[in-house]
């Protein structure tokens, strides 16, 4: 009994990725078609290869690079290596979350400053230079003493 093969376009559509992406995965040696029609150049994949592509796409969505994915799928990786790679990726995502939280906190502080500022309520009436300094005061420098020192240094 012959194994059912799927065309590259079919699996690309199924996984909502481009044919170009799958060809890149092939070029990188991560997934190689089971058959390439010599006349048409069509690439065909087995069910096992489709599962491999599914794993590749999932790992990519978790932030793994193609180089990392190739290493993980190469067969030379044991469970300890996989756990180490997953822990490193988790740590990277934790850092990204922390960074995003810090940015959200900064936005909240700026929003509060703008909300209570009488000057900010009249932003449209300010000159470009006044507006720029207001933005510096609201966005960049929290300590007014530091702001005045910065202002003096810039105008010296």
Residue 11 located in a structural domain: yes
Whether 34 and 97 map to the same domain: the answer is no
Q: State whether 72 and 33 are in the same domain.
A: yes
Residues 122-140 have pLDDT tens digits of: 888 888 888 888 888 777 7
DSSP 123: G
Tens-digit pLDDT profile for residues 94-123 = 999 999 999 898 889 888 888 888 777 788
Is the domain of 126 the same as that of 60? no
* Whether pTM exceeds 0.85: no
Residue 52 buriedness (CB in 10 A; 0-12 / 13-18 / 19+): middle
Same domain, yes or no: 46 and 103: no
**Domain ends where: 53, 77, 101?**
77
User: Does 13 score more than 80 pLDDT?
Assistant: yes
Task: Domain count for the chain, please give it.
Answer: 2
CATH number, position 12: 1.10.1660.10
In a domain, 41, yes or no: yes
**What average pLDDT does the segment 51-57 reach?**
93
Tell me the residue range of the domain where 119 lies. Answer: 81-155
Q: Are 31 and 22 in contact (CB under 8 A)?
A: yes
């Amino acid at each position: 009994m012959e194994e059912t093969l799927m065309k590259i376009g079919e699996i690309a559509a199924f996984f909502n990725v481009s044919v170009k992406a799958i060809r890149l995965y092939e070029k990188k040696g991560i997934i190689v078609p089971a058959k390439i029609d010599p006349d048409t150049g069509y690439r065909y994949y087995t069910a096992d290869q489709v599962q491999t592509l599914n794993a590749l796409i999932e790992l990519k969505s978790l932030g793994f690079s193609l180089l990392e994915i190739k290493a993980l799928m190469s067969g030379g990786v044991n469970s300890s290596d996989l756990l180490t790679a997953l822990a490193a990726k988790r740590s990277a995502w934790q850092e990204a979350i922390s960074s995003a939280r810090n940015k959200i906190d900064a936005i909240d502080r700026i929003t509060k400053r703008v909300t209570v500022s009488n000057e900010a309520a009249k932003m449209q009436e300010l000159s470009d230079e006044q507006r720029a300094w207001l933005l510096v005061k609201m966005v960049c420098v929290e300590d007014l003493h530091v702001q005045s020192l910065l202002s003096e240094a810039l105008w010296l």
